[in-house]
Chains A and B, each alone.
Chain A
Amino acid sequence: MKARVFITLKPGVLDPQGKAIHHALEGLGFGGVNDVRAGKLIELDLADGTSDGDIEEMCRKLLANTVIENFRIERLQDA
Protein backbone atom coordinates (compact mmCIF):
# COMPACT_ATOMS: atom_id res chain seq x y z
CA MET A 1 0.00 0.00 0.00
CA LYS A 2 1.30 3.41 -0.87
CA ALA A 3 0.53 6.84 0.42
CA ARG A 4 1.69 10.31 -0.40
CA VAL A 5 2.12 13.05 2.12
CA PHE A 6 2.03 16.64 0.85
CA ILE A 7 3.69 19.10 3.17
CA THR A 8 3.06 22.78 2.62
CA LEU A 9 3.90 25.92 4.54
CA LYS A 10 0.95 27.35 6.41
CA PRO A 11 -0.63 30.39 4.78
CA GLY A 12 1.14 33.54 5.89
CA VAL A 13 4.44 31.81 6.66
CA LEU A 14 7.15 33.50 4.63
CA ASP A 15 8.52 31.21 1.91
CA PRO A 16 11.83 32.62 0.65
CA GLN A 17 12.33 29.60 -1.59
CA GLY A 18 8.95 30.10 -3.25
CA LYS A 19 9.77 33.78 -3.74
CA ALA A 20 13.07 32.93 -5.42
CA ILE A 21 11.35 30.46 -7.74
CA HIS A 22 8.77 33.11 -8.54
CA HIS A 23 11.49 35.60 -9.48
CA ALA A 24 13.25 32.99 -11.61
CA LEU A 25 10.02 32.25 -13.48
CA GLU A 26 9.56 35.95 -14.14
CA GLY A 27 13.17 36.11 -15.31
CA LEU A 28 12.36 33.42 -17.87
CA GLY A 29 9.56 35.59 -19.17
CA PHE A 30 6.63 33.71 -17.63
CA GLY A 31 4.14 36.44 -16.86
CA GLY A 32 0.96 36.00 -14.90
CA VAL A 33 2.43 34.02 -12.00
CA ASN A 34 0.81 35.58 -8.96
CA ASP A 35 2.59 33.61 -6.26
CA VAL A 36 4.72 30.50 -5.73
CA ARG A 37 4.81 28.35 -2.60
CA ALA A 38 7.25 25.44 -2.39
CA GLY A 39 6.52 22.31 -0.37
CA LYS A 40 7.51 18.67 -0.07
CA LEU A 41 6.10 15.41 -1.30
CA ILE A 42 6.93 12.27 0.65
CA GLU A 43 5.98 8.86 -0.74
CA LEU A 44 5.48 6.07 1.75
CA ASP A 45 5.41 2.37 0.97
CA LEU A 46 3.44 0.91 3.85
CA ALA A 47 2.41 -2.45 5.22
CA ASP A 48 -1.15 -3.35 4.34
CA GLY A 49 -3.52 -2.36 7.06
CA THR A 50 -1.64 0.80 8.06
CA SER A 51 -4.39 3.05 9.29
CA ASP A 52 -5.02 6.69 8.49
CA GLY A 53 -4.35 7.36 12.14
CA ASP A 54 -0.89 5.77 11.89
CA ILE A 55 0.03 7.93 8.90
CA GLU A 56 -1.30 11.02 10.62
CA GLU A 57 0.84 10.25 13.64
CA MET A 58 3.91 9.90 11.40
CA CYS A 59 3.14 13.35 10.02
CA ARG A 60 2.65 14.95 13.43
CA LYS A 61 5.68 13.31 15.02
CA LEU A 62 8.21 13.76 12.24
CA LEU A 63 7.24 14.42 8.66
CA ALA A 64 5.71 17.86 9.22
CA ASN A 65 6.52 20.58 11.71
CA THR A 66 3.00 21.66 12.55
CA VAL A 67 4.24 24.98 13.92
CA ILE A 68 4.83 26.12 10.34
CA GLU A 69 3.55 23.38 8.05
CA ASN A 70 0.29 21.72 7.07
CA PHE A 71 0.10 18.20 5.70
CA ARG A 72 -2.32 16.33 3.52
CA ILE A 73 -2.36 12.54 3.14
CA GLU A 74 -3.35 10.86 -0.09
CA ARG A 75 -3.69 7.08 -0.20
CA LEU A 76 -2.89 5.52 -3.56
CA GLN A 77 -4.89 2.64 -4.94
CA ASP A 78 -2.73 -0.44 -5.47
CA ALA A 79 -1.74 -0.59 -9.10
Chain B
Amino acid sequence: MTSTLLRKLSPLLLGSCLAAGTSLGSTAHSDELRIGFLAPTTGIYAQIGKDMVDGFQLYLDQVNGDFAGANVKLTVEDEEGKPATAVLKASKLVGEDKVQLLVGGLLASTGYALAPESTRDKVVYIASIPSADDLTQRKLGDFPYFIRAGWTSSMPTQPLGQWACDKGYKKVVTVAADYAFGYESVGGFQKVFEDCGGKVIQKIWPPLGTKDFGPYISTIKGDADAVFSLMVGPMALQFPKQLRGAGIKQPIIGGSVSYDEFALPFMGDEVIGDVSALQYSAALQTPKNEAFVKAFRTKFGKVPGYYAESNYSAALMIHEVMKKTGGKWPGSEEFIKIMASLKVDTPRGPVSFDDMRNPVQNIYIKQVEKTTMFGYDKPELWNVVIKTYPNVSQFWTYGKEQFLKQPVYDRDFPPCKYCE
Protein backbone atom coordinates (compact mmCIF):
# COMPACT_ATOMS: atom_id res chain seq x y z
CA MET B 1 0.00 0.00 0.00
CA THR B 2 2.76 2.41 0.87
CA SER B 3 4.33 1.92 -2.52
CA THR B 4 1.06 2.80 -4.22
CA LEU B 5 0.82 5.84 -2.00
CA LEU B 6 4.36 6.85 -2.83
CA ARG B 7 3.72 6.48 -6.49
CA LYS B 8 0.59 8.54 -6.15
CA LEU B 9 2.49 11.15 -4.22
CA SER B 10 5.54 11.42 -6.43
CA PRO B 11 3.89 13.66 -9.04
CA LEU B 12 2.66 15.85 -6.21
CA LEU B 13 6.15 16.07 -4.72
CA LEU B 14 7.53 16.97 -8.10
CA GLY B 15 4.82 19.51 -8.53
CA SER B 16 5.80 21.19 -5.29
CA CYS B 17 9.46 21.18 -6.35
CA LEU B 18 8.31 22.90 -9.49
CA ALA B 19 6.40 25.52 -7.56
CA ALA B 20 9.34 26.11 -5.21
CA GLY B 21 11.71 26.43 -8.13
CA THR B 22 9.62 29.06 -9.82
CA SER B 23 9.10 31.19 -6.73
CA LEU B 24 12.79 31.31 -5.87
CA GLY B 25 13.92 34.03 -8.22
CA SER B 26 17.56 34.93 -7.80
CA THR B 27 18.33 38.41 -6.66
CA ALA B 28 20.78 40.34 -8.80
CA HIS B 29 24.00 41.58 -7.25
CA SER B 30 26.06 44.18 -9.04
CA ASP B 31 29.28 42.46 -8.03
CA GLU B 32 28.10 39.02 -9.06
CA LEU B 33 28.89 37.41 -12.42
CA ARG B 34 26.41 34.71 -13.24
CA ILE B 35 27.62 32.15 -15.77
CA GLY B 36 25.47 29.38 -17.20
CA PHE B 37 27.48 26.39 -18.35
CA LEU B 38 25.99 23.83 -20.73
CA ALA B 39 27.61 20.41 -21.07
CA PRO B 40 26.35 16.86 -21.59
CA THR B 41 26.74 15.40 -18.10
CA THR B 42 24.68 12.29 -18.86
CA GLY B 43 24.44 10.01 -21.88
CA ILE B 44 27.13 8.88 -24.31
CA TYR B 45 29.03 12.18 -24.11
CA ALA B 46 29.03 12.32 -20.29
CA GLN B 47 32.79 11.82 -20.00
CA ILE B 48 33.55 14.65 -22.40
CA GLY B 49 30.99 16.77 -20.58
CA LYS B 50 32.77 16.14 -17.30
CA ASP B 51 36.11 17.21 -18.79
CA MET B 52 34.48 20.40 -20.03
CA VAL B 53 33.06 21.27 -16.61
CA ASP B 54 36.29 20.26 -14.85
CA GLY B 55 38.37 22.55 -17.07
CA PHE B 56 36.15 25.53 -16.40
CA GLN B 57 35.85 24.77 -12.70
CA LEU B 58 39.62 24.39 -12.34
CA TYR B 59 40.15 27.97 -13.43
CA LEU B 60 37.44 29.23 -11.08
CA ASP B 61 39.04 27.34 -8.19
CA GLN B 62 42.45 28.78 -9.00
CA VAL B 63 41.14 32.33 -8.64
CA ASN B 64 38.70 31.45 -5.84
CA GLY B 65 35.74 32.34 -8.02
CA ASP B 66 36.80 35.97 -8.00
CA PHE B 67 36.95 37.74 -11.38
CA ALA B 68 38.46 41.14 -10.63
CA GLY B 69 36.08 41.67 -7.74
CA ALA B 70 33.07 40.01 -9.33
CA ASN B 71 31.95 36.91 -7.51
CA VAL B 72 31.38 34.16 -10.07
CA LYS B 73 28.24 32.11 -9.67
CA LEU B 74 28.47 29.09 -11.97
CA THR B 75 25.36 27.07 -12.82
CA VAL B 76 25.95 23.87 -14.77
CA GLU B 77 23.10 22.34 -16.76
CA ASP B 78 22.96 19.03 -18.57
CA GLU B 79 22.32 19.50 -22.29
CA GLU B 80 22.34 15.72 -22.90
CA GLY B 81 24.02 16.15 -26.27
CA LYS B 82 20.69 17.20 -27.75
CA PRO B 83 20.28 20.62 -29.39
CA ALA B 84 16.62 21.00 -28.39
CA THR B 85 17.45 20.21 -24.76
CA ALA B 86 20.25 22.77 -24.86
CA VAL B 87 17.77 25.44 -25.95
CA LEU B 88 15.41 24.53 -23.11
CA LYS B 89 18.19 24.53 -20.51
CA ALA B 90 19.52 27.82 -21.84
CA SER B 91 16.11 29.38 -21.34
CA LYS B 92 16.15 28.03 -17.78
CA LEU B 93 19.59 29.54 -17.16
CA VAL B 94 18.56 32.89 -18.60
CA GLY B 95 15.05 32.99 -17.16
CA GLU B 96 15.58 31.58 -13.67
CA ASP B 97 19.26 31.89 -12.88
CA LYS B 98 19.47 35.25 -14.67
CA VAL B 99 22.84 34.38 -16.15
CA GLN B 100 24.72 37.03 -18.08
CA LEU B 101 26.84 34.54 -19.99
CA LEU B 102 26.25 31.17 -21.57
CA VAL B 103 29.32 28.99 -22.08
CA GLY B 104 29.78 25.54 -23.56
CA GLY B 105 27.73 23.17 -25.66
CA LEU B 106 29.43 20.17 -27.21
CA LEU B 107 28.11 19.32 -30.64
CA ALA B 108 28.18 21.64 -33.62
CA SER B 109 24.40 21.33 -33.81
CA THR B 110 24.17 22.47 -30.19
CA GLY B 111 26.20 25.54 -31.15
CA TYR B 112 23.76 26.21 -33.96
CA ALA B 113 20.89 25.87 -31.48
CA LEU B 114 22.37 28.10 -28.79
CA ALA B 115 23.58 30.94 -31.01
CA PRO B 116 20.04 32.10 -32.00
CA GLU B 117 18.98 31.63 -28.38
CA SER B 118 21.64 34.16 -27.39
CA THR B 119 20.27 36.56 -30.01
CA ARG B 120 16.71 36.15 -28.73
CA ASP B 121 17.64 36.70 -25.09
CA LYS B 122 20.43 39.24 -25.76
CA VAL B 123 22.75 37.08 -23.66
CA VAL B 124 26.41 36.50 -24.48
CA TYR B 125 27.15 33.02 -25.73
CA ILE B 126 30.77 31.83 -25.71
CA ALA B 127 31.18 28.67 -27.77
CA SER B 128 34.13 26.88 -26.20
CA ILE B 129 33.71 23.60 -28.09
CA PRO B 130 31.14 23.82 -30.95
CA SER B 131 33.28 24.29 -34.04
CA ALA B 132 30.79 24.57 -36.92
CA ASP B 133 32.61 26.76 -39.45
CA ASP B 134 29.73 28.97 -40.47
CA LEU B 135 28.97 30.22 -36.96
CA THR B 136 31.89 32.62 -37.33
CA GLN B 137 31.81 32.76 -41.10
CA ARG B 138 28.77 33.06 -43.30
CA LYS B 139 26.14 33.11 -40.56
CA LEU B 140 27.81 35.33 -37.97
CA GLY B 141 25.61 38.30 -38.91
CA ASP B 142 22.62 36.63 -37.25
CA PHE B 143 24.37 36.27 -33.91
CA PRO B 144 25.54 39.61 -32.47
CA TYR B 145 26.08 38.16 -28.97
CA PHE B 146 28.08 35.17 -30.13
CA ILE B 147 31.83 34.73 -29.75
CA ARG B 148 34.03 31.69 -30.03
CA ALA B 149 36.69 30.69 -27.54
CA GLY B 150 37.52 27.46 -29.34
CA TRP B 151 38.04 26.91 -33.04
CA THR B 152 36.45 26.17 -36.40
CA SER B 153 36.50 22.59 -37.68
CA SER B 154 38.65 23.40 -40.70
CA MET B 155 41.06 25.61 -38.78
CA PRO B 156 43.61 22.91 -37.81
CA THR B 157 43.21 20.78 -40.95
CA GLN B 158 44.11 23.63 -43.32
CA PRO B 159 47.65 23.92 -41.91
CA LEU B 160 47.79 20.12 -41.83
CA GLY B 161 47.15 20.14 -45.60
CA GLN B 162 50.11 22.47 -46.04
CA TRP B 163 52.26 20.33 -43.77
CA ALA B 164 51.39 17.13 -45.64
CA CYS B 165 52.24 18.83 -48.93
CA ASP B 166 55.55 20.16 -47.59
CA LYS B 167 56.29 16.69 -46.26
CA GLY B 168 56.17 15.45 -49.83
CA TYR B 169 52.94 13.43 -49.76
CA LYS B 170 51.40 13.42 -53.23
CA LYS B 171 48.31 11.24 -52.88
CA VAL B 172 46.13 11.01 -49.78
CA VAL B 173 43.03 8.99 -48.93
CA THR B 174 40.66 10.54 -46.39
CA VAL B 175 38.60 8.49 -43.95
CA ALA B 176 36.30 10.66 -41.85
CA ALA B 177 33.14 10.44 -39.77
CA ASP B 178 30.14 11.04 -41.99
CA TYR B 179 28.68 14.29 -40.63
CA ALA B 180 29.16 18.03 -40.82
CA PHE B 181 32.22 18.11 -38.55
CA GLY B 182 33.89 15.47 -40.71
CA TYR B 183 33.00 17.30 -43.95
CA GLU B 184 34.42 20.60 -42.73
CA SER B 185 37.62 19.00 -41.44
CA VAL B 186 38.24 17.06 -44.65
CA GLY B 187 37.27 20.06 -46.78
CA GLY B 188 39.88 22.29 -45.12
CA PHE B 189 42.57 19.65 -45.55
CA GLN B 190 41.69 18.92 -49.17
CA LYS B 191 41.50 22.56 -50.22
CA VAL B 192 44.94 23.49 -48.93
CA PHE B 193 46.58 20.19 -49.87
CA GLU B 194 45.35 20.37 -53.45
CA ASP B 195 46.08 24.08 -53.84
CA CYS B 196 49.64 23.16 -52.93
CA GLY B 197 49.78 20.42 -55.56
CA GLY B 198 48.68 17.30 -53.68
CA LYS B 199 45.86 15.02 -54.71
CA VAL B 200 43.08 13.58 -52.57
CA ILE B 201 42.39 10.39 -54.49
CA GLN B 202 39.63 8.88 -52.38
CA LYS B 203 37.19 10.03 -49.72
CA ILE B 204 35.66 7.41 -47.44
CA TRP B 205 32.86 8.29 -45.03
CA PRO B 206 32.13 5.69 -42.35
CA PRO B 207 29.04 6.62 -40.32
CA LEU B 208 29.43 8.25 -36.92
CA GLY B 209 29.87 5.52 -34.31
CA THR B 210 31.35 2.90 -36.67
CA LYS B 211 33.03 0.09 -34.75
CA ASP B 212 34.04 -2.26 -37.54
CA PHE B 213 36.07 -0.45 -40.17
CA GLY B 214 36.82 -3.66 -42.11
CA PRO B 215 34.61 -2.85 -45.11
CA TYR B 216 36.10 0.65 -45.38
CA ILE B 217 39.73 -0.28 -44.80
CA SER B 218 39.65 -2.93 -47.51
CA THR B 219 38.74 -0.30 -50.12
CA ILE B 220 41.62 2.06 -49.30
CA LYS B 221 43.72 2.51 -52.41
CA GLY B 222 47.20 1.06 -52.13
CA ASP B 223 49.02 3.83 -53.97
CA ALA B 224 48.21 6.49 -51.36
CA ASP B 225 51.16 8.11 -49.58
CA ALA B 226 49.19 8.73 -46.40
CA VAL B 227 45.76 8.26 -44.82
CA PHE B 228 43.97 11.29 -43.41
CA SER B 229 41.62 10.25 -40.62
CA LEU B 230 39.02 12.14 -38.67
CA MET B 231 37.55 10.02 -35.90
CA VAL B 232 35.19 11.00 -33.12
CA GLY B 233 34.80 9.36 -29.71
CA PRO B 234 35.27 5.57 -29.60
CA MET B 235 35.95 5.53 -33.37
CA ALA B 236 39.33 7.09 -32.63
CA LEU B 237 40.35 4.00 -30.63
CA GLN B 238 39.22 1.45 -33.20
CA PHE B 239 40.41 2.93 -36.47
CA PRO B 240 44.22 2.98 -36.03
CA LYS B 241 44.15 -0.46 -34.44
CA GLN B 242 42.14 -2.01 -37.27
CA LEU B 243 44.08 -0.18 -39.98
CA ARG B 244 47.39 -1.50 -38.70
CA GLY B 245 45.83 -4.89 -38.08
CA ALA B 246 44.89 -5.02 -41.76
CA GLY B 247 48.54 -4.55 -42.65
CA ILE B 248 48.27 -1.03 -44.03
CA LYS B 249 51.55 0.70 -43.34
CA GLN B 250 50.99 4.19 -44.74
CA PRO B 251 51.37 7.01 -42.22
CA ILE B 252 48.19 8.36 -40.63
CA ILE B 253 47.72 12.09 -40.50
CA GLY B 254 44.75 12.75 -38.29
CA GLY B 255 42.42 15.65 -37.99
CA SER B 256 41.99 17.48 -34.72
CA VAL B 257 40.28 15.18 -32.22
CA SER B 258 41.47 11.79 -33.58
CA TYR B 259 44.32 11.71 -31.07
CA ASP B 260 42.96 13.93 -28.33
CA GLU B 261 44.35 13.28 -24.84
CA PHE B 262 40.81 12.22 -24.00
CA ALA B 263 41.39 9.00 -25.99
CA LEU B 264 45.19 8.72 -25.94
CA PRO B 265 45.62 6.79 -22.63
CA PHE B 266 43.40 4.01 -24.02
CA MET B 267 45.37 3.61 -27.23
CA GLY B 268 48.00 0.97 -27.94
CA ASP B 269 51.56 1.46 -29.10
CA GLU B 270 50.49 1.08 -32.73
CA VAL B 271 49.58 4.78 -32.78
CA ILE B 272 53.17 5.86 -32.11
CA GLY B 273 54.26 8.05 -35.00
CA ASP B 274 50.73 9.06 -36.03
CA VAL B 275 50.35 12.75 -36.74
CA SER B 276 47.46 15.09 -35.97
CA ALA B 277 46.80 18.82 -35.87
CA LEU B 278 45.00 20.95 -33.30
CA GLN B 279 45.30 24.25 -31.46
CA TYR B 280 46.24 22.40 -28.28
CA SER B 281 48.52 19.61 -27.12
CA ALA B 282 49.00 18.61 -23.51
CA ALA B 283 52.68 18.12 -24.37
CA LEU B 284 53.23 21.82 -25.16
CA GLN B 285 56.46 22.86 -23.50
CA THR B 286 55.37 26.18 -22.06
CA PRO B 287 55.31 27.11 -18.36
CA LYS B 288 51.63 28.05 -18.61
CA ASN B 289 50.69 24.68 -20.10
CA GLU B 290 52.90 22.71 -17.73
CA ALA B 291 51.22 24.36 -14.76
CA PHE B 292 47.79 23.66 -16.25
CA VAL B 293 48.51 20.00 -17.00
CA LYS B 294 49.93 19.42 -13.53
CA ALA B 295 47.08 21.16 -11.75
CA PHE B 296 44.47 19.31 -13.79
CA ARG B 297 46.16 15.95 -13.38
CA THR B 298 46.57 16.40 -9.64
CA LYS B 299 42.92 17.27 -9.21
CA PHE B 300 41.20 14.95 -11.68
CA GLY B 301 43.75 12.17 -12.17
CA LYS B 302 44.13 12.48 -15.92
CA VAL B 303 45.96 14.50 -18.53
CA PRO B 304 43.71 17.28 -19.84
CA GLY B 305 42.68 17.22 -23.48
CA TYR B 306 41.38 20.05 -25.56
CA TYR B 307 37.87 19.71 -24.13
CA ALA B 308 39.23 20.72 -20.73
CA GLU B 309 41.73 23.29 -22.02
CA SER B 310 39.24 25.10 -24.21
CA ASN B 311 36.90 25.65 -21.29
CA TYR B 312 39.71 26.55 -18.91
CA SER B 313 40.78 29.19 -21.40
CA ALA B 314 37.21 30.38 -21.88
CA ALA B 315 37.08 31.08 -18.13
CA LEU B 316 40.44 32.83 -18.39
CA MET B 317 39.16 35.04 -21.22
CA ILE B 318 36.05 36.01 -19.25
CA HIS B 319 38.34 36.91 -16.35
CA GLU B 320 40.43 39.13 -18.63
CA VAL B 321 37.33 40.98 -19.79
CA MET B 322 36.23 41.52 -16.20
CA LYS B 323 39.69 42.86 -15.35
CA LYS B 324 39.19 45.55 -18.00
CA THR B 325 35.81 46.55 -16.61
CA GLY B 326 36.96 46.47 -12.98
CA GLY B 327 34.63 43.63 -12.08
CA LYS B 328 31.49 45.35 -13.34
CA TRP B 329 29.26 43.65 -15.87
CA PRO B 330 29.56 45.82 -18.98
CA GLY B 331 26.41 44.65 -20.77
CA SER B 332 26.25 42.07 -23.55
CA GLU B 333 27.31 44.30 -26.48
CA GLU B 334 30.21 45.80 -24.61
CA PHE B 335 31.33 42.42 -23.30
CA ILE B 336 31.53 41.01 -26.84
CA LYS B 337 33.42 44.11 -27.97
CA ILE B 338 35.98 43.86 -25.16
CA MET B 339 36.42 40.12 -25.50
CA ALA B 340 36.93 40.38 -29.26
CA SER B 341 39.76 42.85 -28.66
CA LEU B 342 41.57 40.63 -26.14
CA LYS B 343 45.05 39.28 -26.57
CA VAL B 344 45.51 36.59 -23.94
CA ASP B 345 48.07 34.00 -23.05
CA THR B 346 46.40 30.63 -22.49
CA PRO B 347 47.74 27.10 -21.96
CA ARG B 348 47.40 26.59 -25.72
CA GLY B 349 49.47 29.68 -26.44
CA PRO B 350 48.68 33.28 -27.40
CA VAL B 351 45.09 33.87 -28.55
CA SER B 352 43.59 36.95 -30.18
CA PHE B 353 40.42 37.34 -32.22
CA ASP B 354 39.72 38.15 -35.86
CA ASP B 355 36.92 40.51 -36.87
CA MET B 356 34.57 37.52 -37.19
CA ARG B 357 35.02 36.85 -33.45
CA ASN B 358 36.95 33.61 -33.97
CA PRO B 359 40.28 32.99 -32.23
CA VAL B 360 43.53 33.55 -34.09
CA GLN B 361 45.90 31.05 -32.52
CA ASN B 362 48.75 28.62 -33.04
CA ILE B 363 48.04 25.33 -34.74
CA TYR B 364 50.30 22.52 -33.67
CA ILE B 365 51.27 19.56 -35.81
CA LYS B 366 51.66 16.80 -33.25
CA GLN B 367 53.13 13.33 -33.37
CA VAL B 368 52.26 10.59 -30.90
CA GLU B 369 55.35 9.48 -29.01
CA LYS B 370 55.99 7.35 -25.96
CA THR B 371 57.98 9.55 -23.66
CA THR B 372 58.05 11.15 -20.25
CA MET B 373 56.85 14.70 -19.74
CA PHE B 374 56.88 17.34 -17.06
CA GLY B 375 58.71 15.10 -14.61
CA TYR B 376 56.12 12.29 -14.59
CA ASP B 377 58.20 9.15 -14.19
CA LYS B 378 56.32 6.64 -16.36
CA PRO B 379 56.66 6.75 -20.15
CA GLU B 380 53.26 7.51 -21.66
CA LEU B 381 51.78 8.43 -25.03
CA TRP B 382 52.01 12.19 -25.60
CA ASN B 383 51.18 14.42 -28.56
CA VAL B 384 54.64 15.85 -29.05
CA VAL B 385 54.62 19.05 -31.07
CA ILE B 386 56.74 18.72 -34.21
CA LYS B 387 55.78 21.94 -35.95
CA THR B 388 53.99 25.12 -34.95
CA TYR B 389 52.03 27.30 -37.35
CA PRO B 390 51.80 30.55 -35.43
CA ASN B 391 48.76 32.86 -35.36
CA VAL B 392 46.59 30.87 -37.74
CA SER B 393 43.35 32.43 -38.89
CA GLN B 394 40.20 30.48 -39.70
CA PHE B 395 40.68 31.74 -43.27
CA TRP B 396 44.21 30.27 -43.41
CA THR B 397 46.18 32.33 -45.95
CA TYR B 398 43.29 32.97 -48.31
CA GLY B 399 42.07 36.16 -46.72
CA LYS B 400 38.55 36.73 -45.47
CA GLU B 401 36.91 38.06 -48.64
CA GLN B 402 38.18 35.36 -50.93
CA PHE B 403 37.52 32.61 -48.40
CA LEU B 404 33.92 33.63 -47.76
CA LYS B 405 33.18 33.61 -51.51
CA GLN B 406 33.38 29.83 -51.56
CA PRO B 407 30.59 27.78 -49.97
CA VAL B 408 31.10 26.15 -46.58
CA TYR B 409 33.12 22.91 -46.76
CA ASP B 410 30.81 20.01 -47.38
CA ARG B 411 30.75 16.35 -48.36
CA ASP B 412 31.12 17.35 -51.99
CA PHE B 413 33.00 20.61 -51.62
CA PRO B 414 35.77 20.87 -52.62
CA PRO B 415 34.77 18.33 -55.28
CA CYS B 416 36.98 15.28 -55.46
CA LYS B 417 38.71 15.95 -58.78
CA TYR B 418 41.19 13.11 -58.49
CA CYS B 419 38.83 10.41 -57.26
CA GLU B 420 38.09 7.66 -59.73
A, B in one complex: no
